[in-house]
């Protein structure tokens, strides 16, 4: 089922047709508050009284030309300005293929230049720019751009994927930069040569990578540790191991998707973890949504229920 859903995520035909269907739009509302940045910022503002931070991202990837990449960069510039004006303090996450990465050398140079502008906007808004990690075909270029951004600005975070076999080496490479790392399990279809395939392997590598960051923190490295997972038991295991080394839960930030495991996030916050919600918005949601369904069977069951006719309520009952 996971392989099927990831295959669907890569279908251009389905990406063009499914979002037009009303029942599909209804199902996706569990995971995003709306299509525009106003809806995303309103959701972020709603979390603030609960002590929950927000990480905002515009859905979309693989910009096909410079104009599309520039339009996306300008959208994010306006988002940072709005965050600053409203005093939200929200952070922002961007995919580099949204900014033109993937179009050869010119695309990589353009993506770096656009991301560099966004890092400056993040600094002006007194917040953080996060760089998402995409499929393994982009990993080398993404890390190279991140290294340049973090060296120049110091307020840039990077997502790393626990399912990739190379991530342990990538993490060691990045530690001298004083990085902010969002560790995720990984939601892209990858060959077995590049990625672990079983849940047990991915969970084990996730825990090992998290503890590598904990040990780096203990050794005096300047690193921000963010666990991007809905697996509360896995977070508890990591926190327990860290506590045995004298590391407080306040060092282990937890980031979860909007609409998922709200009670789990509140529980982790009550235990002392800094917490954030990743709030996605925009109309380019199909591939992203398929990956969310592939991550957790419970998400798929929810989507199927949304496709079924809704029962009518009898008046007065």
- What lies within 8 Å, CB to CB, of 38 at 6+ separation is none
CA distance 178 to 141: 19
Quick one: 168 exposed, middle or buried, by C-beta within 10 A (0-12, 13-18, 19+)?
middle
- Judge whether 182 counts as a catalytic residue: yes
**Looking only at Cα atoms, what is the longest distance across the chain?**
66
CB 184 within 8 A of CB 232: no
Integer Cα distance of 26 and 278 in angstroms: 19
Q: Which two tokens stand for residue 109?
A: 């140079």
CB 149 within 8 A of CB 116: yes
Selected catalytic residue, list 114, 182, 261, 292: 182
Residue 116 token pair: 């560099």
Among the listed residues 98, 141, 94, 102, the one whose alpha carbon sits nearest the alpha carbon of residue 122: 94
> DSSP H helical segments within 103-166, as ranges?
104-124, 139-153
- Those residues whose C-beta lies under 8 Å from the C-beta of residue 210, and which sit 6 or more positions away, are 183, 225, 227, 238, 252
Let me know the angle formed at the C-alpha of 127 by 121 and 132, rounded to the nearest 5 degrees: 80
Q: Which residues contact 60 (CB under 8 A, 6 or more apart)?
A: 72, 95, 98, 282, 284
**Under the phi-then-psi rule, with left for phi > 0, alpha for psi from -120 to 50, and beta for the rest, what region is 191?**
beta
Catalytic residue among 114, 132, 261, 292: 132
Q: In angstroms, rounded to a whole number, what is the distance separating the alpha carbons of residues 115 and 120?
A: 9
Active site residues: 132, 182
């Amino acid at each position: 089922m996971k392989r099927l859903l990831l295959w669907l995520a890569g279908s251009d035909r389905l990406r063009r047709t499914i979002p037009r269907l009303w029942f599909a739009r209804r199902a996706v509302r569990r995971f995003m508050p709306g299509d525009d940045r106003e809806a995303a910022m309103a959701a972020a503002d709603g979390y603030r009284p609960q002590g929950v931070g927000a990480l905002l991202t515009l859905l979309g990837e693989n910009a096909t030309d410079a104009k599309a990449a520039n339009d996306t960069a300008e959208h994010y510039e306006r988002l940072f300005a709005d965050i600053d004006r409203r005093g939200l303090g929200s952070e922002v996450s961007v995919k580099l293929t949204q900014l033109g990465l993937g179009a050869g050398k010119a695309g990589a140079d353009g993506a770096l230049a656009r991301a560099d502008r966004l890092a400056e906007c993040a600094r002006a808004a007194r917040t953080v720019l996060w760089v998402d990690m995409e499929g393994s075909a982009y990993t080398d270029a993404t890390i190279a751009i991140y290294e340049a951004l973090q060296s120049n600005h110091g307020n840039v975070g990077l997502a790393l994927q626990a399912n990739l076999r190379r991530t342990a080496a990538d993490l060691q490479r990045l530690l001298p930069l004083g990085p902010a790392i969002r560790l995720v399990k990984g939601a892209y279809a990858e060959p077995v040569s590049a990625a672990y395939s079983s849940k047990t392997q991915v969970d084990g590598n996730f825990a090992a990578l998290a503890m590598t960051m904990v040990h780096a923190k203990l050794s005096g490295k300047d690193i921000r540790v963010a666990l991007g997972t809905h697996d509360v038991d896995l977070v508890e295991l990591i926190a327990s191991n860290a506590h045995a080394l004298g590391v407080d839960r306040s060092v282990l930030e937890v980031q979860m998707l909007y609409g998922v495991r709200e009670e789990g996030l509140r529980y982790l916050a009550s235990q002392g973890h800094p917490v954030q919600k990743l709030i996605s918005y925009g109309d380019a949601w199909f591939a992203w949504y398929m990956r969310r369904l592939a991550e957790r069977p419970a998400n798929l069951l929810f989507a199927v229920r949304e496709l079924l006719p809704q029962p009518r309520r009898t008046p007065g009952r």
